[in-house]
């Protein structure tokens, strides 16, 4: 489609020119329509909050409505800026379909819970109830987040370190392999949660018991993958290093370990997933703090909004942890071609 017509170029007729200018503006707006639609979607969410009185007693409906309008306005503003700025326009257009969907889903959620009560209460709290948790129960949530992160980080780091060292030792030394391999085969596949009752008896505190279990859940995949990584290093690398004068320590630290790193990261990734499960179960069963405990506690009080709020935080934390792991991997494995994007 030509952008300039003959009449444009010759300025024959002011009317035609004006019409073509309006149509080009329209075209530009149409290109960014999805951005404006996303703004409207969030505005619809705001409206849905104000549409009629809540069927229950929720104190944050007004604020949530304002937030909905504010976010909708911000999206629309960004879409408008996108008409001139290519960078902003691209960023808005990439996110707009998701933003639109989220706005509409929030509006629908608001209507079927707080306004029409189509979903049974209190099991399906409306958005404002969850926002209320974040504003009114924040200290306890933050405390739980810190407790969970502390427990998870401690257990994971211990498990990853022990698993890595064990894996390298089995992969490198026949003698270590002889003794450790059968134990690994026997104990490794057992779900770490199966140890829970024993661990809580055997360890002096529920915190140390949980740390042990998380370390166990992390350690097994890290050990196995590190070991298979070290074992699969091509002997040609060792030959090259040896002819160049490498000593055994050089072969371990400068050949075997770097060559095995891609495998190690698969193990770290699998271990992370397994350790999340153990963390939550341990917190539900014995530890008196953390997000798992918060979930359990909220359920005991039938505080379903608190459960959803905690679940949301938990998923952000787990996803953040995996993103962080992938970032570390991308830094360390820049030499690999085409690593998977998280």
Partner 1 sequence: MVSAAALKPQPQAAGAALDVVDVSHHFDIDGAALPVLDHVTLSAAPGEFVALLGPSGCGKSTLLRLVAGLEPPRAGRLLEDGRVIAGPHPSRVVVFQDPTLFPWRTVWKNVALGLEAQGIIKSERHRVDAALAMVGLSGFSNAYPHQLSGGMAQRVSLARALVNDPDILVLDEPLGKLDSLTRLSMQTEIVSLWQRQGFTTLLVTHDVEEALFLAQRVVVFSERPAKLKADIQVDRPYPRHRGDPHLADLRRQILGLLGLDATW
**Which residues contact partner 1 by CB under 8 A?**
234, 236-237, 239-247, 250, 254-255, 258-259, 261, 333-337
Q: Work out how close the CB of 256 gets to partner 1 at its nearest, in angstroms, rounded to a whole number.
A: 11
- If you search the block for the tokens 């706005």, which residue do you land on? 103
Q: How far is the CB of 171 from partner 1 (least distance, A)?
A: 17
Rounded Cα gap, residues 268 and 265, in angstroms? 5
CB of 242 to partner 1, least distance (A): 4
The three-state secondary structure class of 87 is helix
User: Is residue 213 within 8 Å of residue 190, measured between CB atoms?
Assistant: no
Q: How far is CA 61 from the centre of its chain?
A: 28
Q: Compute the distance between CA of residue 325 and CA of residue 195 in angstroms, rounded to an integer.
A: 27
Find the radius of gyration of the CA atoms of the chain: 29
Place of tokens 């974040």: 134
CB 262 → partner 1: shortest distance, Å? 9
How far is Cα 223 from Cα 106, in angstroms, rounded to an integer?
44
CB of 164 to partner 1, least distance (A): 17
Measured from the CB atom, the residue of 180 and 246 that comes closer to partner 1 is 246
Q: Which is nearer to partner 1, 124 or 238 (CB)?
A: 238
Contact indicator for 68, 108 with CB cutoff of 8 Å? no
Looking at residue 253, the DSSP 8-state letter turns out to be I
Q: How far apart are CA 327 and CA 292, in angstroms?
A: 27
Tokens 């999340």 found at: 276
CB of 247 to partner 1, least distance (A): 7
From the CB of 168, what's the least distance to partner 1, in Å? 16
What whole-number distance in Å separates Cα of residue 215 and Cα of residue 213? 5
In the complex with partner 1, the residue whose CB is nearer, 124 or 237, is: 237
Residue with smaller CB distance to partner 1, 86 or 247: 247
Give the CA-trace dihedral at 281, 286, 288, 292, to 10 degrees.
10
State residue 60 phi and psi, 5-degree precision.
-110, 15
Q: Decide whether 140 or 242 has the Cβ nearer to partner 1.
A: 242
Select 135 or 336, whichever has its Cβ closest to partner 1.
Answer: 336
Residue nearer to partner 1 on the CB measure, 51 or 237:
237
């Amino acid at each position: 489609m030509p952008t300039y017509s003959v009449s444009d170029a010759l300025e024959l007729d002011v009317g035609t020119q004006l019409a073509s200018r309006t149509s080009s503006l329209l075209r530009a707006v149409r290109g960014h329509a999805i951005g404006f639609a996303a703004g409207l979607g969030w505005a619809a969410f705001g409206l849905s909050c104000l549409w009629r009185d809540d069927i229950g007693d929720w104190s944050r409906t007004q604020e949530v409505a304002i937030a909905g309008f504010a976010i909708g306005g911000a999206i629309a503003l960004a879409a408008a800026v996108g008409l001139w700025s290519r960078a902003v326009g691209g960023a808005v257009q990439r996110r707009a379909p998701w933003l639109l969907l989220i706005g509409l889903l929030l509006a629908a959620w608001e209507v079927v819970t707080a306004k029409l009560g189509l979903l049974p209460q209190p099991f399906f709290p409306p958005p404002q109830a969850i926002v209320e948790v974040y504003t009114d129960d924040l200290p306890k949530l933050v405390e739980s987040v810190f407790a969970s992160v502390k427990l998870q980080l401690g257990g994971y780091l211990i498990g990853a370190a022990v698993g890595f060292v064990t894996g390298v030792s089995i992969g490198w030394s026949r003698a270590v392999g002889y003794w450790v391999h059968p134990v690994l085969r026997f104990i490794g596949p057992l779900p770490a949660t199966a140890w829970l009752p024993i661990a809580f008896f055997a360890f002096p505190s529920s915190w140390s018991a949980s740390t042990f279990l998380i370390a166990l859940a992390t350690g097994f995949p890290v050990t196995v993958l590190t070991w298979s990584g070290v074992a699969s290093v091509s002997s040609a690398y060792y030959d090259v290093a040896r002819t160049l004068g490498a000593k055994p320590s050089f072969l371990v630290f400068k050949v075997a370990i770097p060559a095995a790193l891609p495998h190690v990261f698969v193990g770290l990734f699998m271990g992370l997933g397994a350790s999340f499960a153990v963390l939550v179960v341990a917190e539900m069963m014995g530890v008196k703090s953390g997000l798992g405990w918060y979930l359990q506690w909220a359920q005991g009080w039938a505080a379903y909004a608190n459960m959803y709020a905690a679940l949301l935080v938990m998923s952000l934390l787990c996803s953040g942890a995996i993103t962080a792991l992938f970032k570390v991997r991308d830094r360390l494995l820049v030499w690999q071609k085409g690593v998977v994007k998280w």
